[in-house]
Amino acid sequence: MKDILSEIIAHKRIEIEQQKQAVSLSQLQEQAAVMMQEAVGTGASGTTPVRSMKRALVSSSSGIIAEFKRRSPSKGWIKENAQANLIPPAYETAGASALSILTDEKFFGGNLRDIRTARPLVNIPILRKDFIIDKYQLLQARIVGADAVLLIAACLTPDECHTLTMQAHELGLEVLLEVHSTSELSYIYKETDMVGVNNRNLGSFVTDIENSFRIAEKLKNAVAEIDFQTPPLLVSESGISHPETIRELRSAGFRGFLMGETFMRTDDPGSTLEELIHGI
């Protein structure tokens, strides 16, 4: 079966180099430094998340991270003309705890402008969901207004993941570490903010919700063995569509539930989310 993840990462490396030719790393670092200094001017620490996704999920009764996603590599267009100025605010109104916004253009039809557009319209945390392999992408995320970033274990070595986690924290970004199997639990460090179990195989893009339940116990054991100041919050990602599934996942130890297609495939994603929350 074709390995979609390998194809995405190969293209991502080319894409980042092209972006660096247009806007250098040092230029981005200067922009980010200005933003962080402005944050200090308002009484906040430049390295403290403006909106903590982890805290938002802890304090939420639903824990839903609602995703803005136009297409999928395996299923094609989901909502080609979806507008970032309409759906994210509707998600917040409906009761979402946080937002996930896809910024990969070639495979998911997203872009960084979607976060820039949504940011002033919502008050809940925004996760930049992309295939992050370079500090350059962390700087981009900070500049457009993201509060957290996704780091996918399958895309990185443990050392790369740890380095990017520390760099993200220096920029005031939280990290959602994504794992797919028990073999990737070694990627969890004491600095990890959140751990997400992706129920979608990133090689084949086949979804199996049972993946979260299979990994849950070993994941909790792995977390228990690390000396955390505050343990990472556990998130289940993809393939979730029913309130009952969320209740079962919560019983298994998860507190965040990343959902996208369930909402984006409907005419009114915000109303679909609201109905689901009422059923939890």
Residue 75 is predicted with a pLDDT of 84
Q: What is the b/e burial string over 187-226, where b = at least 16 CB atoms within 10 angstroms of the residue's CB?
A: bbbebbbbbbbbbbbbeebebebebbbebbeebeebbeee
pLDDT along the chain (280 residues), means of 10: 82 98 97 87 68 96 97 91 98 98 97 98 98 98 97 96 97 96 95 95 77 95 92 95 96 97 97 96
Beta strands 98-102 and 64-68 are: parallel
Do 234 and 195 meet the contact criterion of CB atoms below 8 Å apart? yes
The span from the CA of 255 to the CA of 249, in Å, is: 8
Do 165 and 175 meet the contact criterion of CB atoms below 8 Å apart? yes
The span from the CA of 124 to the CA of 270, in Å, is: 15
Residue 1 is predicted with a pLDDT of 39
Do 172 and 148 meet the contact criterion of CB atoms below 8 Å apart? no
- The DSSP element (H or E) to which 105 belongs, if any, is none
- The DSSP element (H or E) to which 194 belongs, if any, is strand 194-198
Map residue 181 onto helix, strand or coil: coil
Do 279 and 246 meet the contact criterion of CB atoms below 8 Å apart? no
The DSSP call for residue 186 is G
Angle between helices 158-170 and 135-144 (to 10 degrees): 30
Task: Tell the CATH topology of 4-279.
Answer: TIM Barrel (3.20.20)
The sign one gets for the Cα dihedral 29, 35, 36, 38 is: positive
12, 18, 19, 25 alpha-carbon torsion, rounded to 10°: 100
Residue 39 is predicted with a pLDDT of 77
> Could you state, in order of their start, the residue ranges of all structural domains in the chain?
4-279
- The DSSP element (H or E) to which 217 belongs, if any, is helix 210-224
Do 270 and 94 meet the contact criterion of CB atoms below 8 Å apart? yes
Residue 2 is predicted with a pLDDT of 54
What backbone torsions phi and psi does residue 228 show, to the nearest 5 degrees? -85, 145
| Strand ranges for 1-77 from DSSP E | 64-68, 71-72, 76-77
- Helix and strand tally (H, E) in the chain? 11, 10
CB count within 10 Å of CB 279 equals 11
Tokens of 152: 């996918």
